[in-house]
């Protein structure tokens, strides 16, 4: 048995025994292998190093009460990775290859899948990078697809405890840029605004729509949702935000399981009063309640600075219950490892 204090885990890198790696060359993927080596050696001219030809995914494996292991909607991660790859002119990874790679990594590192009831999960990081000799701004001659994993706890400290966020003056993506793709460049652009927010003791920053700076787009590396006083579930719609799998799952659950009106639409900064509760959602973030948002000198509090709102709590319990196998999942959401 591995000796890990599961309840004390944060969101940090840990070397686990096995990772998967596959190589694309001459128009095709090789079989792929599991390896114990957590380093990769690539050509100095690799496009991922110079021109950001890189995309990635994030998903989790969940230990059930009966000891078995669930993946949550990995087919959606596969589809999104291929959309990101298409945007950056990289080869697609067949869905069965993607899911097989993820399952192999979970099985090979089974001891590191946190026990049921600890709140911790196994985070999986699939990535696709352009490699090989190159100097021109053209797609790479070769590609690597890898999947590695590690046990993690909450992404935002405190988990379901509300925390504060601050509106950034920076954008993470341009109106017709790569915001909807999960590509490294968006995250490089978010490092400075993220640091500024952390330096001021906020959990992360809020990005506004890059064209007008009047509407909320993202909450750091998570999507935003708000619950209005008349119980509507609203989440921003924009071509420059990342289409969050958690967000689409919550839209479905809000409507189908809680009878709420669930819509994607504008979340204007000058209309925050209409929300009774607000939160951030994503694979890493799960659901993180937003206590308040600082925008210049204005500090807007939603439900409470210390308590989680009732609908946020219900949505959290339903979502996590489905992921860990305690609550019946909508058809096709759970893949058993």
Q: Which of 131, 144, 245, 311 binds ligand PLP (CB under 6 A)?
A: 245
| Buried residues in 252-286 as b, exposed as e (16+ CB within 10 A) | ebbeebbebebebeebebeebeebbbbbbbbbbbb
Rounded to whole angstroms, the Cα distance separating 326 from 300 reads: 35
Helix (H, G, I), strand (E, B) or coil at 280: strand
Q: Which does 88 bind (CB under 5 to 8 A by kind): ligand PLP, ligand COI, none?
A: none
How far apart are CB 221 and ligand PLP at their closest, in Å? 4
Residues in contact with ligand COI by the rule CB under 6 A = 58, 221, 282-284
Q: Which stretch binds ligand PLP (CB under 6 A): 37-45, 153-161, 215-223, 312-320?
A: 215-223
> What is the 3-class SS of 147-200, one letter each residue?
EEEEEECCCCCCCCCCEEEEECCCCCCCCCCCCCCCEHHHHHHHHHHHHHHHHC
Q: Which of 53, 134, 178, 223 binds ligand PLP (CB under 6 A)?
A: 223
Q: Taking CB under 6 A as the rule, does residue 163 contact ligand PLP?
A: no
How far apart are CB 48 and ligand PLP at their closest, in Å? 18
Q: Which does 60 bind (CB under 5 to 8 A by kind): ligand COI, ligand PLP, none?
A: none
Q: Taking CB under 6 A as the rule, does residue 240 contact ligand PLP?
A: no
Rounded to whole angstroms, the Cα distance separating 310 from 80 reads: 31
Rounded to whole angstroms, the Cα distance separating 324 from 337 reads: 13
Q: Which is nearer to ligand PLP, 90 or 206 (CB)?
A: 206
Q: Which residues fall within 8 angstroms of residue 218, CB to CB, at 6 or more apart?
A: 172, 206, 207, 224, 236, 241, 242
Subset of residues 18 to 77 that bind ligand PLP, contact rule: CB under 6 A: 58
Q: Which stretch binds ligand PLP (CB under 6 A): 32-40, 90-98, 112-120, 218-226?
A: 218-226
**Residue 271 in tokens:** 């209309």
Residues lying near ligand PLP in the complex (CB under 6 A): 58, 218, 221-223, 242, 244-247, 282-283
């Amino acid at each position: 048995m591995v000796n890990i204090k599961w309840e004390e885990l944060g969101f940090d890198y840990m070397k686990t025994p096995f990772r998967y790696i596959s190589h694309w060359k001459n128009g095709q993927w090789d079989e792929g292998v599991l390896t114990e080596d957590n380093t990769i050696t690539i050509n100095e001219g690799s496009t991922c190093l110079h021109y950001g030809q890189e995309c990635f995914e994030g998903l989790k494996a969940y230990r059930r009460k009966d000891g078995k292991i669930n993946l949550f909607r990995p087919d959606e991660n596969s589809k999104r990775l291929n959309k990101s790859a298409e945007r950056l002119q990289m080869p697609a990874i067949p869905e069965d290859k993607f899911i097989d790679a993820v399952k192999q990594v979970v099985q090979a590192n089974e001891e590191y899948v946190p026990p049921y009831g600890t709140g911790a999960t196994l985070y999986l990081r699939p990535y696709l990078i352009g490699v090989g000799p190159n100097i021109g701004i053209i797609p790479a001659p070769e590609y690597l697809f890898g999947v590695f994993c590690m046990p993690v706890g909450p992404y935002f400290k405190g988990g379901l405890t509300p925390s504060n966020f601050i509106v950034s003056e920076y954008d993470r993506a341009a109106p017709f840029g790569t915001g909807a793709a999960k590509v490294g460049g968006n995250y490089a652009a978010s490092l400075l605004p993220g640091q500024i927010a952390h330096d001021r003791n906020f959990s992360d920053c809020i990005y506004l729509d890059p064209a007008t700076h009047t509407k909320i787009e993202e909450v750091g590396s998570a999507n935003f949702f708000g619950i209005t006083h008349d119980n509507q579930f609203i989440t921003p719609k924009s071509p420059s935000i990342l289409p969050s799998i958690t967000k689409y799952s919550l839209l479905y659950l809000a409507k189908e399981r809680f009878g709420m009106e669930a819509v994607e639409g504008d979340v204007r900064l000058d209309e925050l009063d209409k929300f009774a509760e607000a939160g951030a959602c994503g694979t890493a973030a799960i659901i993180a309640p937003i206590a308040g948002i600082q925008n210049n000198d204005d500090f807007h509090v939603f439900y409470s600075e210390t308590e989680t709102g009732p609908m946020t709590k219900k949505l959290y319990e339903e979502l996590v219950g489905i992921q860990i196998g305690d609550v019946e999942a909508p058809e096709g959401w759970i893949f058993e490892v």
